[in-house]
Structure 1
Amino acid sequence: MLNYFMALNDHNLPYPDTMHPIVVHFVIAMVLFAFCCDVVGYFTHKPRFFEVSWWNMLFATVAIFIAIIFGQLEAGLAEPYDSVVPVLNLHTLIGWSLSGIIAAITAWRYVIRSHNPEKVPLPYLGVGLLLSSLVFFQVYLGDLLVWVYGLHTVPVVEAMKQGVLR
């Protein structure tokens, strides 16, 4: 029974398909939407947007740790070949960094919300812009891993098993 449970499929995973991209897309959407809500709330002076932003950042903080767990598991099962290793390492480093950055920004947002839930300071928006830029770069690296290097795609997994890729 244990052998059946731990058997890897044609994607080199113990479950049907990659989970990391599914979870991480929630994080991406929540962080970017939170930033957009803060910008709209700042310019329209409507505090409802700040409330939406707060909850998006809070859930993004939780979701990024789930995404990292799946990302680490799937990176370990990917058996990366030589040319993909630098991109995978950078993607991993930025992913772990983003977890701390998002948690810190969410904590800052909590303090701002506690003092005045109807305003956000301009420096917070600047940090939100930097965070959004870092998220876009991380998305680019993730796209490279899947669409250029083909991690966990059937042809690349088969090539690795046959020893074609090194």
Structure 2
Amino acid sequence: MFNFLTSLNEHNLPYPDTLHPIVVHFVIAMVLFAVFCDAIGYLTNNSRLFEVSWWNMCLATIAIFVAIILGQFEAGLAKPYEIVKSVLNLHTLIGWSLSGIIAAITAWRYVIRSRNPQKLPLAYLGVGLILTLIVGFQVFLGDELVWIYGLHTVPVVEAVKDGFLP
């Protein structure tokens, strides 16, 4: 049984495929949808959308830590070759930073919600826009790791194992 837990497949993972992208896509969707609901709620004076946004941010705050843990685990198994290390390091740094940023924004949102759940300050929407830009850049880096550098793809895993990639 322990051999199964320690053996790695053709993706260099102990399970069938990467889990980090699955969880992180939920985080991306929840954050972007929360910002969207805030903007529409602000423009239409529909405070029910603020409630939708609040719960999306709460779940995103929890899910980003799960995504980071899986990302750290899978990055450790990826055996990144030299050219990809700087992108992976930047992606990791921004990921950890986003966990703190999202947690802080969610805490701020809790204070706003506690004081007046019917109103949202314009500054909060501005921070939401900045958050959207940071998330967009993080998505770009993640896409680069998979679609350009091929982390956890079978040909790249084989090339690293065979010593073709330094």
- Fold agreement, TM-score > 0.5: yes
1:142 matched residue in structure 2: 142
1:112 is matched with 112
What's the counterpart of residue 85 of structure 1?
85
1:140-164, Cα deviation, whole Å (9 max, x unpaired): 0000000000000000000011000
Amino acid at match of 2:8: L
Give every structure 1 segment of 4 or more consecutive aligned residues whose post-TM-superposition deviation is greater than 2 Å: none
The residue type equivalent to 2:88 in the other structure is L
Aligned to 1:61: 61
| Counterpart code for 1:136 | G
Cα deviation for residue 4 of structure 1 reads: 2.1
- Residue 22 of structure 2 aligns to a residue whose secondary structure is helix
| Offset at residue 123 of structure 1 (A) | 0.3
State the partner residue of 2:42: 42
Distance (Å, rounded) in 1 between the aligned partners of 2:29 and 2:109: 18
- Please give the alpha-carbon distance, in whole angstroms, between the structure 1 residues aligned to 2:5 and 2:118: 51
- Give 1:51 deviation, angstroms: 0.3
Count of residue pairs the alignment pairs up: 166
Q: CA RMSD in A?
A: 0.4
DSSP 3-state at the match of 1:125: helix
- Report % sequence identity: 74
CA distance in 2, matches of 1:59, 1:157: 33
One-letter amino acid matched to 1:38: D
Amino acid at match of 1:65: F
Amino acid at match of 1:30: M
Deviations 1:101-154 (A, max 9, x none): 000000000000000001110000000000000000000000000000000000
Instruction: Give the TM-score normalised by structure 2.
Output: 0.99
The one-letter code sitting in structure 1 at the alignment partner of 2:17 is D
Secondary structure in 1 matching 2:9: coil
**Corresponding residue for residue 14 of structure 1:** 14
TM-score (norm 1): 0.99
Amino acid at match of 1:66: V
Q: Residue type of the partner of 2:162?
A: Q
Matching residue of 1:129: 129
| Matched residue SS, 1:163 | coil
Instruction: For structure 1, list consecutive stretches of 5 or more residues without a partner in the other structure.
Output: none
